[in-house]
């Protein structure tokens, strides 16, 4: 898990805790939404981008994909972003659910 820096140079434990909770929720949600597609992927990391109201989810395919496969995976993630955010909202305890962005990191 990546350490989340604060403005004063220390690491924000609460932000790191939230990122870990979101990662666990997405581990389950990702396998469900990608079950229809041919690509299988997992969550590498979740980091604040730039803070905990917006999180960047780094996803890696389980197998090596060509450029078209990566583009298709990105489109699948974008298409299911709302469903994944709902899965996160159901598993974390916050007033507002963070917005999620996805970036595919090639295997």
Closest CA to 44 of 11, 83, 1: 1
The CATH number of the domain holding residue 43 is 3.30.300.20
Cα–Cα distance, 66 to 84 (Å, whole number): 24
> Is residue 83 in some structural domain?
yes
Residue located via tokens 């090596």: 64
pLDDT of residue 88: 94
Domains of the chain: total: 1
Q: Is the pLDDT of residue 9 over 50?
A: no
Q: Tell me: cis bond preceding 8? Omega within 30 of 0 counts.
A: no
Residues 103 and 78 sit within 8 Å (Cβ to Cβ): no
The model's pTM: 0.84
> Is residue 77 in some structural domain?
yes
> Is residue 4 in some structural domain?
no
> Is residue 27 in some structural domain?
yes
pLDDT of residue 5: 54
For residue range 27-58, list pLDDT tens digits in order.
988 988 887 776 789 999 999 998 999 999 99
Cα–Cα distance, 102 to 55 (Å, whole number): 9
> Is residue 46 in some structural domain?
yes
Average pLDDT over the chain, rounded to whole?
A: 87
Mean pLDDT of 68-97: 91
Q: Is the pLDDT of residue 2 over 60?
A: no
């Amino acid at each position: 898990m990546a350490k989340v820096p604060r403005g004063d140079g220390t690491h924000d434990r609460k932000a790191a805790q939230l990122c870990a909770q979101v990662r666990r929720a997405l581990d389950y949600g990702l396998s469900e939404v990608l079950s229809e597609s041919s690509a299988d992927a997992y969550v590498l990391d979740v980091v604040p981008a730039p803070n905990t109201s917006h999180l960047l989810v780094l996803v890696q395919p389980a197998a090596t994909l060509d450029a078209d496969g990566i583009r298709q995976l990105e489109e699948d993630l974008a298409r299911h972003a709302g469903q994944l955010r709902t899965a996160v909202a159901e598993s974390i305890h916050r007033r507002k659910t963070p917005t999620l962005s996805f970036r595919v990191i090639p295997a």
